[in-house]
Amino acid sequence: MQLAKAGKRVAVIEKYHAVGGGCTHWGTIPSKALRHSVSRLIEYNNTPLFADNHVSRSLTFSDIMKHASGVIRSQTRLRSTF
């Protein structure tokens, strides 16, 4: 990465169909995206400002996975531009 950022020509051989490796596709980034979605939902449901509307929000597992997939796609695109 440092060489590419410095303008040098580099070659990267990726084991999988998309760049990013384990961190991007099934490790750190997906797990943080899942945790972030759930923590934001909990924060919303426990915020007194929104308690007056008496509407508790919920997400399905499918909703959360769609969000995580979007984060992964975004991170893959970012890593493809180096």
Domain range for residue 8?
2-80
Residues 6+ apart with CB under 8 A from 45: 56, 57
CA 68 to chain centre: 5
Q: Can you tell me the distance from the alpha carbon of 1 to that of 12, in angstroms, rounded to the nearest whole number?
A: 10
Number of domains observed in the structure of the chain: 1
Please tell me the pTM assigned to this model. Answer: 0.69
Give the 3-state secondary structure percentages of the chain, helix then strand then coil, rounded to 5: 60, 0, 40
Q: Can you tell me the distance from the alpha carbon of 49 to that of 31, in angstroms, rounded to the nearest whole number?
A: 29
Given this model, what pLDDT does residue 34 score? 95
State pLDDT tens for residues 11-63.
Answer: 878 787 788 888 888 899 999 999 999 999 999 888 888 777 777 788 899 99
Which tokens go with 39? 């923590």
Q: What percent of the chain has pLDDT above 70?
A: 99
